[in-house]
Copies of this chain bind each other. A is one copy, B any other.
């Protein structure tokens, strides 16, 4: 009798049927059940586990369908011997006596784990006041609409399209949606051959750095700026030029002339949230033409911009293919899906595509197909509209709360209407990393700002508060609680 094997601790949040099936499959595959004894009868097992007999019958039937077990007449259910996996693989080769492990550190050409990174706690959702940047508030995710797209992508004509290897191409439906739906909204009109799907913004930058940079390449980054861009370009040994920013975004002056690439976040500067002024945009484009620089425009966040008539992308004004435009679905749908795109001169896209083929061939087809439906059925637009309203209200709330509790820490009045964070400045002597540690003890998550400065010896008194993941009604009490933490330092 095999009853002794059947002790299951049930997880109340999953269906009993799934858990029992999983348990039995596991017993079978690990060789835990003998071949010559019948499984407990459904009546018996249902009593043992306190589960309805019908459930057990359904599970046994599905296991027969899957071939894990077989029915023998009048004897009951038995493990199918082809799934019974007790034979140990023969591993009787003899290793040399003087064996030794490799010296990995001598082999690494680079040690990316040593880089300074933005640290985001894995368990940020357990914080009462998660002022974290780049995550989303789940309650608003249009789960029903997404489910609908997933269902459609797996049925009818598209049934199994997505199980194929596309080699180096992309889902043509998604390219078309980006071309005709997303890009015109930023003022961009291009051909399909000028668009490439990537696994997010970082992946776009990585592909570009890998293709375009060596130790003689000079790349201008905003300071403070996007830390991951610094890490990526440094990985390919590019020389980094750090260009300061002010309330109107990147300062455009002759210091940029000698740079091969100018990485900018014009729509919503990372991390300060300011918008690049129209006059600066003009100067930047002129400079790039005159001095043969390429602009890498990271338009992250632009689609959640709340203004009715936002500034068009730099790419929209670019007549000479000097702008490489990178966008992402992280903000406007979800960062977990990992989908981004790049728009550039076809000549460049051809090479990036060939490089992508080597790097990972193409982003997963099923996600591309689901996304193209999400766009074509208008779900994305509806969600964006909702997000814009929510973000506008949250921005108002956080501004009011800061005016009340931390009025002296403001850094800028010109935050972009697409910003989902605010950038603040504590008094000079305050180290915001220490503040963050103490804040965490009060269940407040905030981001120290030093990591966003690309130069050595960064100021320690800046910090960022993201508001895309925190619930609206938590913003005011969260800022009030943060003020109490700051009081220990000021």
A360-401 contact mask (Cβ, 8 Å, vs B): 1 or 0: 111111110000000011110110010000000000000000
Instruction: Report the Cα distance A200→B28, complex, angstroms.
Output: 29
Interface residue stretch chosen among A133-141, A262-270, A416-424: A133-141
Which residues in B have their C-beta under 8 angstroms from that of A159? 138, 143
Closest-CB distance, A485 to chain B (whole angstroms): 24
Residues of chain B contacted by A3 (CB below 8 angstroms)? none
- Report the minimal beta-carbon distance from A176 to chain B, rounded to whole angstroms: 11
**Residues in B whose Cβ lies below 8 Å from that of A198:** 360
* Alpha-carbon distance between A31 and B108 when the two chains are bound, in angstroms: 55
Contacts of A441 in B (CB 8 A): none
4 shortest interchain CB distances as A-B pairs: A25-B378, A163-B334, A165-B335, A112-B354
Q: Pick from B29, B89, B330: contact of A381, CB below 8 A.
A: B29
**Residues on B with beta carbons closer than 8 Å to the beta carbon of A348:** 104
**Contact (A67, B382) CB under 8 Å given A104-B348, A163-B336, A366-B337:** yes
Closest to A160 in B: B138
Q: How far is A160 from B152 in the complex, measured between Cα atoms in Å?
A: 19
Instruction: Give the residues from 102 to 135 in chain A that come closer than 8 angstroms, CB to CB, to chain B.
Output: 102, 104-105, 107-113, 115, 117, 120, 122, 125, 134-135
Residues of chain B contacted by A96 (CB below 8 angstroms): 286, 289-290
Interface status of A194 (Cβ within 8 A of chain B): no
21 contacts between A and B (CB under 8 A): A13-B156, A68-B381, A87-B309, A96-B286, A101-B321, A108-B211, A109-B213, A109-B214, A112-B357, A113-B350, A115-B358, A136-B164, A138-B159, A138-B163, A146-B154, A147-B154, A163-B333, A163-B336, A199-B360, A232-B358, A235-B358
A254, CB-defined interface residue at 8 Å = no
Q: List the interface of chain A (C-beta within 8 A of B).
A: 11, 13-15, 18, 21-22, 25-26, 28-30, 63, 66-68, 82-83, 85, 87-91, 93-96, 98-102, 104-105, 107-113, 115, 117, 120, 122, 125, 134-136, 138, 141, 143, 146-147, 150, 152, 154, 156-157, 159-160, 162-167, 169, 180-181, 184-187, 198-200, 202-203, 206, 210-214, 217, 228, 231-232, 235, 260, 278, 281-282, 285-286, 289-290, 292, 294, 308-312, 316-317, 319-322, 330, 333-339, 345, 347-348, 350-351, 353-355, 357-367, 376-379, 381-382, 385
Known pairs A14-B157, A30-B180. 18 more at Cβ < 8 A? A18-B152, A25-B376, A25-B378, A66-B382, A91-B316, A93-B278, A94-B282, A109-B214, A112-B351, A115-B358, A135-B165, A163-B337, A165-B330, A199-B199, A199-B363, A200-B361, A336-B366, A367-B367
